[in-house]
Amino acid sequence: MSLGNKKLRYGIIGSGMMGREHIRNLLAIDNCEVVAISDTNAPSRAKSVELINGAVQFSDHREMLSTQDLDVVIIATPNHTHLDLLNDVLETGLHVLVEKPLCTTVDDCLLAIDRDRQTHRDGRVVWVGLEYRYMAPTARLLSEVNLGTCGKVQMVAIREHRFPFLEKIDNWNRFTSNTGGTLVEKCCHFFDVMGLIAQSRAVRVFASGDQDVNHLDETYDGKRSDILDNAFVIVDYQNGVRGMLDLSMFAEGSKNEQEISVVGSNAKLEALITESKIRIGLRVNGATGVEEIVVEQPRGVVAGFHAGASYLEHLAMQRAIRTGQPSLVTLQDGLNSVAVGQAAHLSIVQKRVVEISELFI
Ligand SMILES: NC(=O)c1ccc[n+]([C@@H]2O[C@H](COP(=O)([O-])OP(=O)(O)OC[C@H]3O[C@@H](n4cnc5c(N)ncnc54)[C@H](O)[C@@H]3O)[C@@H](O)[C@H]2O)c1
């Protein structure tokens, strides 16, 4: 089912903030077009139709799927809707990108993986929107790790210090039941990158965190928002690598929204995401020998909210679709990243170490 040089026809389910980021990036890529959008919210539909003249609008994705001639579908709806929508798209056999987190729980991710197997089509690309791995400095750091620059990787630390969650349609992101919790919703990106650096499976997690500053006085339909806004998460990997995530969502005064450090037997590598730099410090060269390299964005990148990563994600997915190659960001990657986030959330609630295997019983 590879599509060679055909002009790819996209349908978008969910045209809120992220759906529109996808639309903007697809508009900047040759040989593809967004022909239909489906959103249950009229203002979201109107905003995306402003971007794409001529796209057909739907309020029900099933009508879009059954009436439109599509090649690729993007699901960019709230997290708790992903499983049902993905099931419907998988039935059609179309290529699909489902936004991160794949689902809000490990159980639902496993159901999605089952459904993919049951509806298998040769050459169908099913891709999860974990695009942080395509951010230029992160991609450069990953390539240095793969080249062996730091020797045997031992420690990975990722810091995200940023602004609070933005407002979303119907405030879906204010509740753990809709998002899977901050450590699933937001941090699945970082557990994905951490796993790629560790090159191993996470086996256990210990975390401390809380909702200390943000959204404390927000209630919706009488329910108070319950979103964690800071945490430290420690992850043990099967191969002995140790990972740590340091998350603060009330740190607007931070020069870099994300920083990654990797320490191995030969060197320390760092990625400073907002400054778009990496540092390479070989142990033999000491502190004065640390090399700082500015990482240029690849040509043609549309920055959007994610430093060009969504654009590069689409190029990579389209290459897979056109050449009949498998997805590079799989449902299994989606599951792995949700599992660490869910384990971290459970660790915070129950104040104990959580084995990843507990989530698969
Ligand atoms: N990959 C990333 O970096 C990244 C960044 C932001 C958001 N996201 C993900 O994208 C998804 C959407 O987030 P957002 O920030 O765009 O939220 P949003 O609230 O801005 O938009 C969601 C849209 O989905 C629509 N919707 C809800 N149920 C629907 C249904 N059944 N059918 C069609 N439309 C429906 C809503 O009306 C809304 O317009 C979430 O899963 C989020 O985690 C990913």
**Atom of ligand 1 at shortest range from CA of 172:** 19
Do residues 310 and 131 lie in contact, with contact meaning Cβ atoms separated by under 8 Å?
Answer: yes
| 307 CA from centroid of ligand 1 (Å) | 19
15 C-alpha vs ligand 1 centroid, how far in Å? 7
Using the mean position of ligand 1's atoms as its centre, give its distance from the Cα of residue 45 in Å. Answer: 12
Q: Are residues 188 and 277 in the same domain?
A: yes
* CATH number where 163 lies: 3.30.360.10
> How many angstroms separate the alpha carbon of residue 294 from the centre of ligand 1?
33
Q: Which two tokens stand for residue 47?
A: 């905003």
The model's pTM is 0.97
Structural domain includes residue 1 = no
User: Of ligand 1's atoms, which has the minimum distance to the CA of residue 41?
Assistant: 37
- The 3-state secondary structure of 205-218, one letter per residue: EEEEEECCCCCCCC
The answer to whether residues 164 and 59 belong to one domain is: no
Ligand 1 neighbourhood includes 47 CB (under 6 angstroms): no
Using most ligand atoms within 8 A of CB, pick from 12, 13, 15, 18 the residue to mutate for ligand 1.
Answer: 18
| Mutate-to-test residue for ligand 1 from 73, 99, 310, highest number of ligand atoms within 8 A of CB | 99
Tens-binned pLDDT, residue by residue, of the chain (361 aa):
668 889 999 999 999 999 999 999 999 999 999 999 999 999 999 999 999 988 999 999 999 999 999 999 999 999 999 999 999 999 999 999 999 999 999 999 999 999 999 999 999 999 999 999 999 999 999 999 999 999 999 999 999 999 999 999 999 999 999 999 999 999 999 999 999 999 999 999 999 999 999 999 999 999 999 999 999 999 999 999 999 999 999 999 999 999 999 999 999 999 999 999 999 999 999 999 999 999 988 777 775 678 789 999 999 999 999 999 999 999 999 999 999 999 999 999 999 999 999 999 8
236 within domain boundaries = yes
Note the pLDDT of residue 177.
96
Ligand 1 atom 7, closest CA: 18
Q: Is residue 141 part of a domain?
A: yes
What pLDDT, on the 0 to 100 scale, is given for residue 341? 98
Question: Do 213 and 149 share a domain, yes or no?
Answer: yes
Residue 1 is predicted with a pLDDT of 62
**Quick one: which atom of ligand 1 is closest to the CA of 77?**
24
State phi, psi for 333 to the nearest 5 degrees.
Answer: -60, -40
Residues 249, 145: one domain? yes
255 within a domain of the structure (yes/no): yes
pLDDT of residue 52: 92
Q: Are residues 279 and 214 in the same domain?
A: yes
The ligand 1 atom nearest the CA atom of 44: 39
- Do 28 and 118 lie in a common domain? yes
What is the CATH number for 125? Answer: 3.40.50.720
pLDDT given for residue 301 in this prediction: 75
Ligand 1: atom nearest CA of 179 is 43
Pocket lining: 77 vs ligand 1, CB cutoff 6 Å: yes
Same domain, 188 and 256: yes
Among 60, 98, 169, which residue has the most ligand 1 atoms within 8 Å of its CB, making it the best to mutate?
Answer: 169
Amino acid 361: pLDDT: 87
Number of domain units in the chain:
2
The DSSP result for 146-189, as a single string, is HHTTTSSEEEEEEEEE-PPPPP-GGGGGG-HHHHS-HHHHTTHH
| Residues 170, 282 within the same domain | yes
Same domain, 49 and 191: no
Mark whether 140 and 78 lie in a shared domain: no
Q: Would residue 332 count as lying in a domain? A: no
Q: Name which of 266, 263, 242, 237 is nearest 355 in CA terms.
A: 237
- Pocket of ligand 1 contains residue 28 by CB under 6 Å: no
- Is 291 among the domain residues? yes
**Is there a single domain that holds both residue 156 and residue 277?**
yes
Residue 339 Cα to ligand 1 midpoint, Å, equals 21
Claim to verify: residue 344 and residue 226 sit in the same structural domain: yes
Position 3 in a domain? no
Please report whether residue 2 resides in a domain: no
Q: Is the CB of 13 under 6 A from ligand 1?
A: yes
Q: Which atom of ligand 1 is nearest to the CA of 185?
A: 43
> For residue 78, how far is its CA from the centre of ligand 1 (angstroms)?
4
Q: In which domain, by residue range, is 65 found?
A: 8-131+309-327
Query: Sheet harboring 72-75: ordered strands across?
Result: 56-58, 32-38, 8-13, 72-75, 95-99, 126-129
Phi, psi of 234, deg, nearest 5: -110, 130
